[in-house]
Amino acid sequence: MLAKAARENFPVAPFFLPRAWRTDLMAVYGYARLVDDIGDGDLAPGGADAELLGLDRDQADDALAMLDAFEADLRRVFRPAAEPRHPLLRALRPTVQRHGLDQEPFLGLIEANRQDQRIRRYATYQDLLDYCELSANPVGRLVLGITGTASPERIRRSDAICTALQIIEHLQDVAEDLRRDRVYLPAEDMKRFGVTEADLAAPRGGVRLRALVAKEAERAAALLNEGTPLVGSVHGRLKVLLAGFVAGGRAALRAVAAAGHDVLPGPPRPTKLSLLREVGRHCEERGEPDREGISARVRASARGVPLLRGRDRPPGPQLRLRHQAAADGEAPCDVGPVRLLPPGRRHRRRPLDPEAKRARLADTRALLDRMRRGGIEEDDTDPVAVALAHAAHRFPIPLDALDELIDGVLMDVAGQTYETWDDLKGYCRCVAGAIGRLSLGVFGTAPRTGHSEDELERAPAYADTLGLALQLTNILRDVREDAATGRTYLPADDLAKFGCTAAFHGSTAPPDADFTGLVHFEVRRARALFAEGFRLLPLLDRRSGACVSAMAGIYRRLLDRIAKDPAAVLRGRVSLPGHEKAYVAVRGLAGLDARAVERRGTGRPV
């Protein structure tokens, strides 16, 4: 029974969670799965479950009798003096006791399955929502209870997500539910779209049924929108878990849409890759906590999920289903063949104010201090903290470089400008040189014949210098983009020397400015840094050297492009074509750059 967890649209108890959470979540899942199997008549043959609950084996097919017996056994979980009969309920008891869980969510799941025995059709969408209040929402509330994060606002968001997931499952299983003599598509909607139960029994969905499924998918997407801020209200591994729940729903909606909203040939299921992509998107969600710790703003649209709407129009070969953020208040519409428009542009996240950024950076520095004190346990709920502590234990990573990185980001937050190259060099060492030294801690050096201990000891300095070269190249490439955000990184001394003190907001250089001279001056400086930094390559093992060579080689060639056409950085972002990047990568893998540096003793790769 617990093996069915792998077939759900969402992750039930993924490996990255603390072991205690996984145990408790699987106990709750086992309970919910058994209740559903009783209601659906999917119990293992032989009547063993009925016997465990004190019934005759031949009563296993009597869903109402089984549910009554199961409820009686559930109540034993909450009575200390009683011992539950069913092993899944005995496994549930420690979870209930650890977290002080209430019995109401568990009873709600039983009542939902009782309702399935009595009610086979739902007249209105509100009737369906009332059913989901029993069949789905209790699960989310139990997850919040187990993780100790329940609040009225989080529960409201969780209910929206769980109801959405239930509706999506109903859409995927239209044909299977009909075989059980159940229809979860609201009768009022079926009438509006001209869909009959005979249409549900067809081998493929007709135009009207597909339009109806698109409508219900739109409603589910709107509910996911409403619940999504829940992800941004928590942190660490719980955030990844909740992102998985939302991502499972979004990926399933994409699968339904990819099938043209024809769910009758078989349940459209998302691929693992699509699920992982959605999880990644939702892990980036950020919420502004209110007094209960959750965002007060609902995002206007799901990230990239088509929100579908039918429109009145004369009959024609295509009915365009357009994106919208909500599904209520629509007038009846004619339906025709369905075609989806591409997903709309994603909404940009609202930028944080400087104080919020400083607060987050202070939290990050506090995490580093906690790690230095050995305060990160293996089952810590922050996956970044666990991974970083593991890396620091395994490799000689210079943790002070992480503090320097925070210092550099704080300079960005303050909008700091730089008078001289020495000033800018200090910033570049923080935001880029530090990364080089941290990477070297993982790569290590590979002593070879001809490389003295003194040379190996200079590897961190080479890594630092290579970071400076990369950062200066970045600054040249992004000079116009940075100007648009009010930032100027190039040293004020250099700008004045070449008459370029005016900001670079246009596609051409300011009048009377020697912009080409300025770029060539900075290019020469960056090339000297590359020449020194590339001396790191022969000190690395082959694979590490290939990695560094590919990355640095791409930037080195990018610098050459900028040198050939300095004004290009004012017209747009300069980049290398794919074939040139591939060439650089092949050179790195073959070790050609490292050998070229060794032959020359210093200089650039060819």
Q: What is the CATH number of the domain that holds 437?
A: 1.10.600.10
Same domain for 48 and 77: yes
d(CA 125, CA 223): 13
Same domain for 226 and 327: yes
Same domain for 189 and 73: no
Residue 138: count of CB within 10 angstroms of its CB: 24
- Whether residue 153 lies inside any domain: the answer is yes
d(CA 182, CA 193): 19
Three-state DSSP class for residue 115? helix
- Whether residue 349 lies inside any domain: the answer is no
Answer yes or no: are the C-beta atoms of 66 and 33 closer than 8 Å.
no
State the total domains in the chain: 4
22 sits in which H/E element: helix 19-40
Same domain for 290 and 190: yes
Is the pLDDT at 117 greater than 80? The verdict is yes
Same domain for 436 and 426: yes
Same domain for 152 and 63: no
Is the pLDDT at 334 greater than 90? The verdict is no
Global pTM reads 0.51
Same domain for 229 and 215: yes
- Whether residue 129 lies inside any domain: the answer is no
Confidence at 11, pLDDT banded by 50, 70, 90: low
What integer is the mean pLDDT of 291-298? 30
Burial of 331 (0-12, 13-18, 19+ CB in 10 A): exposed
Same domain for 171 and 100: no
- Whether residue 210 lies inside any domain: the answer is yes
β-strand partners of 340: 321
Three-state DSSP class for residue 289? strand
Is the pLDDT at 193 greater than 80? The verdict is yes
- Rounded to a whole number of angstroms, the distance between the first and last alpha carbons of the chain is 61
What integer is the mean pLDDT of 444-452? 67
Of 329 and 177, the one with more pLDDT: 177
Answer yes or no: are the C-beta atoms of 89 and 108 closer than 8 Å.
no
Q: Give the residue among 259, 237, 239, 304 at the shortest CA–CA distance from 277.
A: 304
Three-state DSSP class for residue 321? strand
Task: Read off the pLDDT of residues 72-110 as tens digits, 9 standing for 90 and up.
Answer: 999 999 998 999 999 999 999 999 999 999 999 999 999
Three-state DSSP class for residue 339? strand
Answer yes or no: are the C-beta atoms of 101 and 142 closer than 8 Å.
yes
Answer yes or no: are the C-beta atoms of 401 and 374 closer than 8 Å.
no
Is the pLDDT at 392 greater than 90? The verdict is no
What integer is the mean pLDDT of 238-261? 91
- Whether residue 294 lies inside any domain: the answer is yes
d(CA 97, CA 480): 60
Same domain for 541 and 496: yes
What integer is the mean pLDDT of 34-46? 91
d(CA 185, CA 192): 12
d(CA 70, CA 85): 9
Same domain for 222 and 100: no
Query: Which pLDDT score is estimated for 331?
Result: 37
d(CA 187, CA 123): 5
- Whether residue 7 lies inside any domain: the answer is no
| Three-state SS letters, 547-564 | HHHHHHHHHHHHHHHHHH
* Contacts of 497-502 spanning 24+ positions with Cβ under 8 A: 497/521
- Whether residue 241 lies inside any domain: the answer is yes
Same domain for 528 and 405: yes
d(CA 571, CA 481): 10
Query: Which pLDDT score is estimated for 340?
Result: 34
Task: Read off the pLDDT of residues 127-183 as tens digits, 9 standing for 90 and up.
Answer: 999 999 999 999 999 999 999 999 999 999 999 999 999 999 999 999 999 999 999
Same domain for 292 and 177: yes
β-strand partners of 320: 339
Residue at a domain's end among 118, 149, 176: 118
Residue at a domain's end among 394, 422, 454: 394
Pure H helices in 565-606: 568-571, 578-590, 592-600
- Whether residue 366 lies inside any domain: the answer is yes
Q: Is residue 603 left, alpha or beta, with left meaning phi > 0 and alpha meaning psi from -120 to 50?
A: left
Q: Return the percentage of the chain with pLDDT > 90, whole number.
A: 54
Q: Which of 240-244, 261-265, 443-447, 457-461 has the highest mean pLDDT?
A: 261-265
Q: Which domain holds residue 148?
A: 134-310+320-344
Pure H helices in 136-196: 137-147, 152-172, 174-179, 187-193
Is the pLDDT at 341 greater than 60? The verdict is no
392 sits in which H/E element: helix 383-394
